[in-house]
Amino acid sequence: SQTIHQWPATLVQPVGSPLSLECTVEGTSNPNLYWYRQAAGRGLQLLFYSVGIGQISSEVPQNLSASRPQDRQFILSSKKLLLSDSGFYLCAWSISHIGETQYFGPGTRLLVL
Amino acid sequence: AQSVSQHNHHVILSEAASLELGCNYSYGGTVNLFWYVQYPGQHLQLLLKYFSGDPLVKGIKGFEAEFIKSKFSFNLRKPSVQWSDTAEYFCAVSFMEYGNKLVFGAGTILRVKS
């Protein structure tokens, strides 16, 4: 069966520091991968999605970037964190076609001080 | 822009009460529809989905949802809630002409009093 992992679970970082959040999927090949930010009372906002290695689409302009160095690995990064980057970040995967059911990881809670 | 609206942000019910959570979306084309649930301390997980066929969809734990195309709605229902249904519920829609990416509603926090 498929599983999705995210780490770290919680992260506290100072403003201006770099960021790297990792997401890996097991038990499937060539998944679509997604990064979302969840804000209280505002649902989930899609940040990035990827349909293959090295293929990244950005949904909103922001201080963050994403990379997919391997088929089942998706990384969310920043060179210099802002206070406004604080939030709950979720990774998800789906099979081939966008629009199929997405399966979510446990999330990373990021607090920027 | 495509959008998904959930009518209530907080709902409080007593056990055995009936539940209906509203979800409306902004677009009249081809859509796939989902309800996700996030129990306290757990992953976001799929409750049910509609792609085509019978517009009344049954999901896990006694939940069901009805797709009414003319009203752009996909309301979630359960005839008798339990304390364990306390969670946050998200409606999500993928719009074919928006690249089939998921758009989420703001979520509804349901608290069931025992």
CB contact under 8 A, A41 and B44: no
Residue-level pLDDT at B105: 94
Residues of B in contact with A104 (CB under 8 A): 36, 43-45
Which of residues B1 and B56 earns the better pLDDT score? B56
A106 shares contact with chain B (CB less than 8 Å): yes
**A-chain residue closest to B49, CA distance:** A101
pLDDT in tens, chain A (113 residues): 889 999 999 999 999 999 999 999 999 999 999 999 998 777 899 999 998 999 999 888 778 999 999 999 999 999 999 999 999 999 999 986 666 789 999 999 999 99
> Which residue in A32, A100, A109 has the most chain B C-beta atoms within 10 A of its own C-beta, making it the best mutation to test that interface?
A100
pLDDT classification of B20: cutoffs 50, 70, 90: very high
The full set of domain ranges for chain A reads 3-112
Instruction: Give me the percent of chain B exceeding a pLDDT of 90.
Output: 77
- Listed by number, the residues of chain B in 1-40 with a beta carbon closer than 8 Å to a beta carbon of chain A are 4, 9, 32, 34, 36
Fold exhibited by the domain B4-113: Immunoglobulin-like (2.60.40)
- Residue carrying the six token digits 């088929």: A71
Is the CB of residue A67 less than 8 Å from the CB of residue A47? no
Q: How many CB atoms lie within 10 A of CB A8?
A: 12
Residue-level pLDDT at A59: 85
CB contact under 8 A, B43 and A105: yes
Residue-level pLDDT at A97: 65
E strand intervals along A19-102: 19-26, 32-39, 43-52, 55-58, 65-70, 73-78, 87-94
Residue B29, pLDDT > 90, answer no
pLDDT tens readout for residues B55-74? 999 999 999 999 999 999 99
CA–CA distances in Å: residue B32 to residues A66, A95, A101: 26, 15, 9
Is the CB of residue A72 less than 8 Å from the CB of residue A105? no
CATH of A3-112, one of 3.40.190.10, 1.10.620.20, 2.60.40.10, 3.30.420.40: 2.60.40.10
Residue B28, pLDDT > 90, answer no
Q: How many CB atoms lie within 10 A of CB B94?
A: 25
